Amino acid sequence: MQTVPAFDRIGEENAFAVLARATELAAKGRDIINLGIGQPDFSTPKHIVDAAIKALKDGHHGYTPAAGIKPLREAVAADLHKRFKVNVSPGEVMIMPGGKPTMFMAIMMFGEPGADILYPDPGFPIYRSMIEFTGAKPIPVPVREENGFAFSAEETLKLITPRTRLLILNSPANPTGGVTPKSEVDKLVAGLEKHPNIAVMSDEIYDHMLYDGEQHVCLLSYPSIRDRLILLNGWSKTYAMTGWRLGYAIWPGKLYEYARKLAVNLHSCVNAPTQYAGIAALTGPQDAVTKMVAEFDKRRKVVVESLNKLPGIACATPKGAFYAFPNIKQTGWKAKPLASALLEDAGIAIIGGPDFGVLGEGYVRVSYANSTANILKALERMGEFLASRKAA
């Protein structure tokens, strides 16, 4: 059997492996607290679930257009206009089976041997995995603690070469919770105007999850890069819909047709009732989103305060998403052995920073998508562990 070498280069997301191990330990009767998971611990709001049930009862059982049903694409365009005052036509919106397929397609469109693709490090691991899959060279853009885990326009622009094809941005960011300020995005876009051949993929899946009065900066609001901007977004995080597999992309120009054809070849369309649920999510009441974000905000403060009391741990206050990314360098532990020992010996699932890139060493990702009571219990156990165990 001869398979193509690309499959030996493809990576994955260790968060799924940690989840599997945590579930296995819990099934054996261990008390495991999961702060590793990247999904809201809330149920999808009832009116959204009801819309999917109604769609099934109304007979929406068949294929839809590959790009998604028109009322959903219209709802996405209207939502983007309402929130960011940007004009998007429903014909630019493509409904996708989650957020991930957009990065998959975008990286496939630009990656090949000889091409460079810039991506955030630490960052969502699928970016690098897919870049390597295509044979392109992954060029990490450092995301630094001393910069509030925002990306630096200057540092990003310096990494551009004639081989650069695509720049991947993510704010609010996984795994750091970092939010890049508008002034920095302005600078970056101004710099990109000198590089008209570089496409930009902006992953804005956490755009509702901002704290301390931060306002989301949507890359669609920059006309000078609009003709080469791919926007990735979706319902997974905002509406607690990770298992529904519903996302969307805004594709510029000919990329739309490329993506539509890829969809026809790959998944045909997103399942019909889920698309109706997506309409209810965008056009219905938003109070469940507001409540969820307010709850995350409360937990964020608890997580940061509790982590900062632990020996050797220093945690900056994240401004977005639902992750804290504490610095563990003073504990003497390397991040992955610490995450592994915490799971096996203390029953706490977190993710080692290196699972998000080489610059993640010295950090761990703590998700606060769990109850305050569980967070407090987990961090108390973590304190006892650090006080009693020598670094491995």
* Of residues 177 and 347, the one with the C-beta less far from ligand PLP: 177
Residue type, 207: D
SS3 assignment for 157-183: HHCCCCCEEEEEEECCCCCCCCCCCHH
Q: Does 40 bind ligand PLP (CB under 6 A)?
A: no
Check residue 165 for interaction with ligand PLP (CB under 6 A). no
The verdict on 36 binding ligand PLP (CB under 6 A) reads no
Gyration radius from the chain CA atoms: 21
Min CB(174)–ligand PLP separation in Å: 4
- Residue 162: cis peptide before it, omega within 30 degrees of 0: no
Beta carbon of residue 296, minimum distance to ligand PLP (angstroms, whole number): 14
Only segment of 46-54, 234-242, 311-319, 374-382 that touches ligand PLP (CB under 6 A)? 234-242
Based on the shown chain and the rule CB under 6 A, indicate whether residue 326 belongs to the binding site for ligand PLP: no
Query: Residue 98, interface with ligand PLP (CB under 6 A)?
Result: yes
Binding flag, residue 99, ligand PLP (CB under 6 A):
yes
What angle, 0 to 180 degrees and rounded to 10, lies between the N-to-C axes of helices 70-84 and 272-283? 30
Task: Determine if 174 is a binding residue for ligand PLP (CB under 6 A).
Answer: yes
Alpha-carbon distance 252 to 279, whole Å? 23
Mask of contacts with ligand PLP, 52-91, x by CB under 6 A?
----------------------------------------
Find the binder of ligand PLP among 40, 177, 247, 354 (CB under 6 A). Answer: 247
| Helix and strand numbers, DSSP H then E, in the chain | 13, 12
- Which residues ranging from 188 to 227 are in contact with ligand PLP (CB under 6 A)? 203, 205
Q: Residue 2 contacts by C-beta under 8 Å, 6 or more apart in sequence? A: none
Q: Please report whether residue 38 would count as binding ligand PLP according to CB under 6 A.
A: yes
Residue 205 CB, nearest distance to ligand PLP (Å)? 4
Q: Does 128 bind ligand PLP (CB under 6 A)?
A: no
Helix (H, G, I), strand (E, B) or coil at 33: strand
Q: How many CA atoms lie within 13 A of 212 on its CB side?
A: 11
In angstroms, rounded to a whole number, what is the distance separating the alpha carbons of residues 58 and 55? 5
Cβ atoms within 10 Å of 320's Cβ, excluding its own: 26
Window contacting ligand PLP (CB under 6 A); options: 98-106, 221-229, 285-293, 362-370: 98-106
Does residue 242 bind ligand PLP (CB under 6 A)?
yes
Closest CA to 313 of 390, 379, 389, 388: 379
Q: Which amino acid is at 79?
A: D
Q: How far is the CB of 38 from ligand PLP (least distance, A)?
A: 4
DSSP H helices in the chain: 6-9, 14-27, 46-57, 70-84, 100-110, 125-134, 153-158, 182-192, 254-266, 272-283, 287-308, 335-346, 372-388
Q: What's the token pair of residue 87?
A: 């004009």
- When binding is defined by CB under 6 A, the residue of 120, 148, 234, 273 that contacts ligand PLP is 234
Among 180, 236, 238, 367, binds ligand PLP (CB under 6 A): 236
Residue 120 interacting with ligand PLP (CB under 6 A): no
What is the nearest approach in angstroms of ligand PLP to the Cβ of residue 190? 25
Q: How far is the CB of 100 from ligand PLP (least distance, A)?
A: 4
Do the beta carbons of residue 94 and residue 259 sit within 8 Å?
yes
- Helix/strand/coil for 249: strand
Stretch that binds ligand PLP, among 27-35, 83-91, 95-103, 369-377 (CB under 6 A): 95-103
Residues at the site binding ligand PLP, with contacts judged by CB under 6 A: 38, 98-100, 124, 170, 174, 203, 205, 234, 236, 242, 247
